[in-house]
């Protein structure tokens, strides 16, 4: 729960605010009941302001819960910050934990001293981190002069230099270009395969797919779904839309007759048809083939639902009704 000062705009209000403060209490996370096992990779998603970063801060001991408790391997992070800090690595993609005016190598050796990593282990980890993240090329550069992608890679190294077995990554690929994203994702997979517990907060579905088996969706401080990612995708991300461009406007009648199980409509232009279908009922290939038999297909594009689409459907309550899974009546938003 955060205490937030209420202030009305304008100077008189600003003066009044100084003498007579008002606060509202805002519950950032509420009834978050979550336990994560070693070697598990969990995606933690939700809209802006849902409480994702707050959860990570509670887990790492940066924030103190007003109620409830957090345990990391049986310890309370707020009470045993030192011991817990040895076990966990945290990355906030939105800001750096590197010393801004120091070369990356100095930040890393400071962290080595803080975490009391012996020289031999440190060198071995550094080599490994350089292999996968390519940090060697900018080790001598001061943090403020790094590009975003370099900064993120250096930050990942900083979060992992003490060999944590639990890592929380809060938007680790934000602002990165595709090649660096791929590199970071591959690196995360190798950590998971080594048995590291990874909790990943991201708005990017590609970070999550093929990496996390478990998906937790949070909204307005509450968990509204906790279950298998595959189950969610099979159930809620099965719809596909194929946009097919034809040489001349296609006749929809015969196409609808050929694809009775799909929803066929005119697309953005007169020479585009949009076919909405369930991927468990039809394949994109079948749709293209059926269209090709009726019209001259020039090009096509397949739209797949994004994690945001899935989340939207979860809000509508469909997920709970159709899978009968985790989100309980009282933890669901009204």
Ligand X SMILES: Nc1ncnc2c1ncn2[C@@H]1O[C@H](COP(=O)(O)OP(=O)(O)OP(=O)(O)O)[C@@H](O)[C@H]1O
201 touches 53 (CB < 8 A):
yes
Min CB(255)–ligand X separation in Å: 41
Map the footprint of Mg ion across residues 53-82, applying CB under 5 A: 53
Cα–Cα distance, 26 to 23 (Å, whole number):
9
64 touches 143 (CB < 8 A):
no
Min CB(53)–Mg ion separation in Å: 3
Tokens of 190: 């190798």
Termini Cα distance of the chain: 20
Binding partner selected for residue 51 from ligand X, Mg ion, none, CB under the kind-specific 5 to 8 Å limit = ligand X
Q: Rule CB under 6 A: say whether 49 interacts with ligand X.
A: yes
Min CB(199)–ligand X separation in Å: 13
- Tally of CB atoms within 10 A around 101: 11
Tokens of 286: 């079948």
Q: Which sign does the torsion angle of CA 121, 124, 130, 135 carry? A: positive
Q: Which is nearer to ligand X, 28 or 191 (CB)?
A: 28
Q: Rule CB under 5 A: say whether 246 interacts with Mg ion.
A: no
Q: Rule CB under 6 A: say whether 72 interacts with ligand X.
A: no
* Coil, strand or helix at 138: helix
- The vertex-169 CA angle with 330 and 56, nearest 5°, equals 45
Q: Which is nearer to ligand X, 44 or 300 (CB)?
A: 44
Binding-residue total with ligand X (CB under 6 A) = 12
Near ligand X by CB under 6 A, which window of 51-59, 67-75, 223-231, 242-250? 51-59
Q: Distances in Å between the alpha carbon of 142 and those of 42, 53, 136, 162, 200?
A: 33, 27, 13, 21, 27
Q: Rule CB under 6 A: say whether 222 interacts with ligand X.
A: no
Map the footprint of ligand X across residues 8-47, applying CB under 6 A: 26, 28, 46
Of 52, 183, 245, 313, which lies in the binding site for ligand X, with binding defined by CB under 6 A?
Answer: 52
Q: Tokens 């817990």 label which residue?
A: 84
Distance, CA of 247 to chain centre: 41
H/E stretch holding 329: none
Q: Which is nearer to Mg ion, 53 or 246 (CB)?
A: 53
Min CB(24)–Mg ion separation in Å: 21
- Tally of CB atoms within 10 A around 75: 15
Q: Rule CB under 6 A: say whether 53 interacts with ligand X.
A: yes
Q: Rule CB under 6 A: say whether 93 interacts with ligand X.
A: no
Near ligand X by CB under 6 A, which window of 12-20, 50-58, 112-120, 273-281? 50-58
Q: Which spans of this chain sit near Mg ion (rule: CB under 5 A)? A: 52-53
Q: Which spans of this chain sit near ligand X (rule: CB under 6 A)? A: 2, 4, 26, 28, 46, 48-54
């Amino acid at each position: 729960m955060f205490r937030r000062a209420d202030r009305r705009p304008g100077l008189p209000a600003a003066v009044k605010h100084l003498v007579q403060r008002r606060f509202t209490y805002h519950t950032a996370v509420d009834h978050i009941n979550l336990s994560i096992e070693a070697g598990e990779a969990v995606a933690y998603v939700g809209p802006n302001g849902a409480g994702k970063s707050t959860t990570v801060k509670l887990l790492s001991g940066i924030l103190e819960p007003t109620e409830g408790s957090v345990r990391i391997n049986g310890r309370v992070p707020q009470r045993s910050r030192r011991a817990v800090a040895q076990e966990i690595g945290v990355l906030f993609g939105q800001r750096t934990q590197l010393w801004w005016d120091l070369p990356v190598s100095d930040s890393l050796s400071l962290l080595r001293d803080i975490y009391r990593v012996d020289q031999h282990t440190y060198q071995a980890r550094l080599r490994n981190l350089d292999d996968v993240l390519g940090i060697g090329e900018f080790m001598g550069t001061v943090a403020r002069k790094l590009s975003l992608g370099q900064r993120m890679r250096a930050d990942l190294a900083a979060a992992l230099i003490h060999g944590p077995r639990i890592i929380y990554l809060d938007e680790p690929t934000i602002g990165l270009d595709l090649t660096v994203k791929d590199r970071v994702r591959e690196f995360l997979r190798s950590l998971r395969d080594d048995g590291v517990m990874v909790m990943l907060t991201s708005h990017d579905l590609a970070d999550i797919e093929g990496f996390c088996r478990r998906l937790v969706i949070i909204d307005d401080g509450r968990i509204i779904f906790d279950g298998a990612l595959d189950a969610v995708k099979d159930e809620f991300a099965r719809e596909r839309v194929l946009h097919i461009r034809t040489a001349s406007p296609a006749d929809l009648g015969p196409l609808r007759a050929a694809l009775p199980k799909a929803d066929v409509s005119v697309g953005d232009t007169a020479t585009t048809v949009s076919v909405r279908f369930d991927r468990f009922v039809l394949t994109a290939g079948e749709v293209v083939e059926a269209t090709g038999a009726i019209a001259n297909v020039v090009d096509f594009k397949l739209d797949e639902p994004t994690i945001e689409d899935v989340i939207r459907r979860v809000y509508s309550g469909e997920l709970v009704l159709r899978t009968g899974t985790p989100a309980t009546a009282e933890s669901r938003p009204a």
